Amino acid sequence: MSKRIEKALAAGGATLATEAAWNAELEAKHEKLVEWLRAQKLAGVLLRRNENVAWVTGGAVELRVLTPSETGVASLLVTAEGKCYYFTAENEAPRLHDEEFGALDFEPVLFPWYGDDTVATAQKLAGNVSGASSLGSDTPGAGLTPVNLYPLRQSLSETEIARYRWLGTQTADAIVEALHEVEPGMSEYDLEAITAENLLHRGILPSVALYAVDDRIYKYKHAAPRGKRLQQYGMLNLCSRKWGLAISITRFIHFGNLPAELGARFEASAQVNAALLDATREGATSAQLFGVAKDAYAVQGFAGDEQLHHQGGSTGYGEREWVATPNGTQVVVNHQAFAWNPSIRGAKAEDTVILNDGKIEWLTATPDLPVIEAVVNGTKYPAAGVLVK
């Protein structure tokens, strides 16, 4: 296996896909993108957002240097004639060739670090294609047509799913290991640090950090860590990233007997989660799924709780590609990833799954932790319970 593409095909000593399968993924994406460009009457598309770069390069290219940035140190151009380029500064070129683009059919276009002329050069390279009117771009720019590539990347290929399975398993293992290290007296920052270390040791990037303890879990739906020290109840809620793919997961720990009321809320959250998973089928719309959540909350005795926070939705190359809303028009497709996150006043269910040929496949199962088995239409949908110590 070429060392230059090993990071897209293998991780942790495990081979996730053959080189031939990966090349087939790249070819299929290239053909899909070129067909789309011609249908949109675009001469080409300039890709800068990390999720689109990762998607079109089969997870081989990571341009991120500044972690929070949506873009990296290069831009990609794919033309309607099928040509591929990457634009970067001369000082970035050696590493990008050796570690990112060396195994890919992208031609480099270089410029001084102080003089980026990507847009003008891209417009020239895209050329005059018959019927094409402009150059598309996934980031704003003068003379560029805004584009959204999500419809092209929402259905995952077999090789993408193989990478996703590894990422889900490793993220779940990392959070379980962290959960067993948690002790009363630790701060929310400690919880964040333990989990982040477990992920980084695995070559996985933490991308969302929501760690809270005790009353802050009840008070805030998005409780970013603020340093409060754990007395009895802790929440580890995170997203992770590798190869451009995103995983979401939440787990809880309680020291001492779990209050009956809180336990009942976890059971109810699991039932809402199960209702959403059961309804996550090809052709279902975002609005329909929101309605499922609304009805499920009411059945569980918590009517209106769907108004208190979003319920999750599609994931993949974004932590949430879309969330279910009352008027949402997005439609579920096969081989699409989802992360639902119903919550009820201190309790929550959240895992990442894939709709795989009519069945729900869990990417973040943690069978060594307590499991709540909710049943909808005769099908069991497990959700994580609280680890009690």
User: Of 288, 277, 273, 279, nearest to 329 (Cα)?
Assistant: 288
Are the CB atoms for 353 and 362 separated by under 8 Å?
yes
Helix, strand, coil in percent for the chain, rounding step 5: 35, 30, 40
One-letter identity of residue 45: V
Q: List the chain domain ranges.
A: 6-153, 158-388
Burial classification of residue 179, based on how many CB atoms lie within 10 Å of its CB (0-12 exposed, 13-18 middle, 19 or more buried)? buried
Rounded to whole angstroms, the Cα distance separating 163 from 127 reads: 36
For 6-153, the fitting CATH number among 3.10.450.50, 3.40.350.10, 3.40.50.300, 3.40.190.10 is: 3.40.350.10
Please tell me the predicted confidence (pLDDT) of residue 3. 47
pLDDT at 130: 63
d(CA 256, CA 319): 33
Residue 245 identity: L
What is the rounded CA–CA span in Å between residue 149 and residue 141?
Answer: 17
pLDDT at 5: 55
d(CA 42, CA 133): 6
The label of the residue with tokens 């990037």 reads 205
Q: Three-state SS for 350?
A: coil
Rounded CA-CA distance 133/289 in Å is 38
Sequential pLDDT tens for the chain (389 residues): 344 455 566 676 778 888 899 999 999 999 999 999 999 999 999 999 999 999 999 999 988 887 778 888 999 999 999 999 999 999 999 999 999 998 899 999 999 988 888 888 888 898 876 666 799 999 998 889 999 999 999 999 999 999 999 999 999 999 999 999 999 999 999 999 999 999 999 999 999 999 999 999 999 999 999 999 999 999 999 999 999 999 999 999 999 999 999 999 999 999 999 999 999 999 999 999 999 999 999 999 999 999 999 999 999 999 999 999 999 999 999 999 999 999 999 999 999 999 999 999 999 999 999 999 999 999 999 999 999 99
The DSSP code for 244 is T
Nearest CA to 363 out of 188, 182, 160, 120 is that of: 160
CB atoms within 10 A of CB 241: 24
The region that residue 59 occupies, defined by phi over 0 for left and psi between -120 and 50 for alpha, beta otherwise, is left
Q: Which amino acid is at 296?
A: A
Per-residue CA distances from 376 to 96, 239, 274 (Å): 49, 27, 6
Fold of the CATH domain 158-388: Creatine Amidinohydrolase (3.90.230)
**Which residue carries 């799954």 as its tokens?**
353
Q: How far apart are CA 249 and CA 237, in angstroms?
A: 6
Give the amino acid at 282: E
The Cβ of residue 148 has, within 10 Å, a number of other Cβ atoms equal to 9
Integer Cα distance of 81 and 120 in angstroms: 18
Rounded distance between C-alpha atoms, residue 161 and residue 258, angstroms: 36
Residue 131 DSSP symbol: T
Query: Using CA atoms, how far apart are residues 116 and 135, in angstroms rounded to an integer?
Result: 17
What 3-state DSSP class applies to 291? helix
pLDDT of residue 131: 65
Residue 333 to residue 156: CA distance in whole angstroms: 10
pTM of the predicted model as reported, rounded to 2 decimal places: 0.94
Cα gap 372→370, rounded to integer Å:
7
> For residue 7, what pLDDT is reported?
58
Tokens 């309680």 belong to residue: 254
DSSP-assigned beta bridge partners for residue 382: 373
Q: 10 Å Cβ neighbour count for 113?
A: 11
Task: Supply the pLDDT for residue 28.
Answer: 97
